Amino acid sequence: MALRSVDEVLHQLLADAPIWGAESRDLARALGAVLAVDVFAQIDVPPAANSAMDGYALRAADVNEGQTLPITQRIPAGALGSALQAGSAARIFTGAFVPPGADAVVAQEDCELLGGELKVNIVPRTGQHIRPQGQDIAKGQLILGKGHRLQAADLGLLASLGFAAVDVGRQLRVAVMSTGDELREPGEVLAAGQIYNSNRPMLAALLSELGVEVIDIGIVVDTPAATRAALQQASASADVVISSGGVSVGEEDHVKAQVEAMGSLDLWKLAIKPGKPLAYGRVAGVPFFGLPGNPVSGFVTFCILVRPYLLKMLGAEQVLPAQWPAKALFDWPRAGSRQEYLRARVVPSTDGMTVDIHPQQSSGVLSSVSWCNALAIIPVGKTVAPGDRVDVIFLRDLN
């Protein structure tokens, strides 16, 4: 069977991702959620002209050399002043609304007090140190578009407009099951032949980063009955099921047969490295992904194929990871027949963005994934020499 290209399978998956509904979510729980509607400002921010300084509000034209102004009122932030009489000044603090009649604020360090009256030492400009009404946002303005994934600053912005909740893609519940007789959980003692389950916390964390609720099915032993019971439990409690391992076609791989018995399954051989087998189908009507058991392959397959699918379900506009060009510091002399995602580190330099790769690109080396901050993409049939341009996908911050 010919290998299927990453792009082709990605397109097929995105076309098949079910449309998911929307719900109203409190801001406190909305980090990472996807906006289901365009959001427009209902008010001006700031709602009125206010002082950018601790100082005095006055009319710029009233400031004449040698003359002092009586201070007729005091306006802390949160208090409302009264209209400013011509030829007077108001003591004002940062954030307080500028009283009607005033057209400038002078900083307190540019003034002195003479016999209780204000002497201004620097002639002010009209409008000085005043933040105009609507300077940040004007009422009616489009603030954030449908399909945008909410980041920390967006939550602050929405709060500044008075939104306590927003309409976002409905909370997605994703079940994670780890197949393999050899697996034990961290904290348990390993017997001969056993290894720790690294996929479970890794997949759970990758899902949590998407704002998804993780339903943990735990370890599933390699029998048809256990596999079937786990698939039943997962599909009954979640909107998407992700399993790791057991999708090869060896005697100990039961996922394919059990999913087929409960629904439908495609098992693809993908032109992706690390990775290769990927199962996709439905279990009792619920979308199902069978990832390779190998943790490095599982990580890459999740990032490249499953993550975009989940983002599509959530209604995100941007579902594919952004790719950036970087200058290779490494040599990759052997062209491959599968698209490779090398575990790489991007380092900014005076020369622009440069990228180097982990010395061990074997799919058994999970420490390379922990080390990397990016994946460098090597297309089928391509080689790389130092100085060549390669595309990279960022996985996290550059530190």
Binding site for ligand AMP (CB under 6 A): 178, 180, 182-183, 195, 197-199, 244-246, 248, 292-295
For residue 297, the minimal CB distance to ligand AMP (Å) is 8
Count Cβ atoms below 10 Å from residue 251 Cβ, excluding itself.
Answer: 7
Q: Which is nearer to ligand AMP, 199 or 339 (CB)?
A: 199
Q: Of residues 216-245, which lie at the interface with Mg ion (CB under 5 A)?
A: 245
Give the x-and-dash track for 245-274 against Mg ion (CB under 5 A). xx----------------------------
Task: Based on the shown chain and the rule CB under 5 A, indicate whether residue 290 belongs to the binding site for Mg ion.
Answer: no
From the list ligand AMP, Mg ion, none, partner contacted by residue 290 (C-beta under 5 to 8 A by kind): none
From the list Mg ion, ligand AMP, none, partner contacted by residue 354 (C-beta under 5 to 8 A by kind): none
From the list ligand AMP, Mg ion, none, partner contacted by residue 281 (C-beta under 5 to 8 A by kind): none
For residue 219, the minimal CB distance to ligand AMP (Å) is 8
Beta-strand pair 111-114/117-120: antiparallel
Long-range contacts, stretch 302-306, CB < 8 angstroms, 24+ apart: 302/203, 302/206, 302/242, 303/206, 303/375, 303/393, 303/395, 304/6, 304/10, 304/272, 304/275, 304/341, 305/6, 305/9, 305/10, 305/13, 305/278, 306/242
| Cα distance between residue 98 and residue 56, in whole Å | 10
Q: Which is nearer to ligand AMP, 111 or 259 (CB)?
A: 259
Helix, strand or coil, per DSSP, at residue 312: helix
Bridge partners, residue 220, by sequence: 179
For residue 298, the minimal CB distance to ligand AMP (Å) is 8
Element (H, E) at 227: helix 224-237
From the list ligand AMP, Mg ion, none, partner contacted by residue 248 (C-beta under 5 to 8 A by kind): ligand AMP
From the list ligand AMP, Mg ion, none, partner contacted by residue 212 (C-beta under 5 to 8 A by kind): none
Compute how many residues bind Mg ion; rule: CB under 5 A: 4
Q: Which is nearer to Mg ion, 211 or 293 (CB)?
A: 293
**Could you say which DSSP state residue 270 is in?**
B
Helix, strand or coil, per DSSP, at residue 63: coil
Q: Which is nearer to ligand AMP, 221 or 380 (CB)?
A: 221
* Options 169, 180, 298, 315; binder of Mg ion; rule CB under 5 A: 180
| Cα distance between residue 234 and residue 258, in whole Å | 13
What residue type is 69 in one-letter code?
A: L
Helix, strand or coil, per DSSP, at residue 150: coil
Backbone angles phi, psi at 182, to 5 degrees: -80, -5
For residue 203, the minimal CB distance to ligand AMP (Å) is 9
Task: Tell me which stretch binds Mg ion (CB under 5 A): 24-32, 104-112, 287-295, 388-396.
Answer: 287-295
| Cα distance between residue 248 and residue 292, in whole Å | 8
Question: What is the phi-psi region of residue 152: left when phi exceeds 0, alpha when psi lies from -120 to 50, beta otherwise?
Answer: alpha
For residue 265, the minimal CB distance to ligand AMP (Å) is 15
Q: Which is nearer to ligand AMP, 55 or 298 (CB)?
A: 298
Integer distance in angstroms from the first to the last C-alpha of the chain? 42
From the list Mg ion, ligand AMP, none, partner contacted by residue 244 (C-beta under 5 to 8 A by kind): ligand AMP
| Cα distance between residue 374 and residue 392, in whole Å | 6
For residue 246, the minimal CB distance to Mg ion (Å) is 5
Count Cβ atoms below 10 Å from residue 304 Cβ, excluding itself.
Answer: 23
| Cα distance between residue 252 and residue 246, in whole Å | 7
Q: Which is nearer to ligand AMP, 246 or 315 (CB)?
A: 246
Q: Which is nearer to ligand AMP, 147 or 292 (CB)?
A: 292
Q: Which is nearer to ligand AMP, 293 or 308 (CB)?
A: 293
Q: Which is nearer to ligand AMP, 244 or 339 (CB)?
A: 244
Task: Please give the residue whose beta carbon sits closest to ligand AMP in the complex.
Answer: 293
For residue 180, the minimal CB distance to ligand AMP (Å) is 4
Distances (CA, A) of 398 to 195, 242, 347, 394: 31, 29, 7, 9
Contact set with Mg ion (CB under 5 A)? 180, 245-246, 293
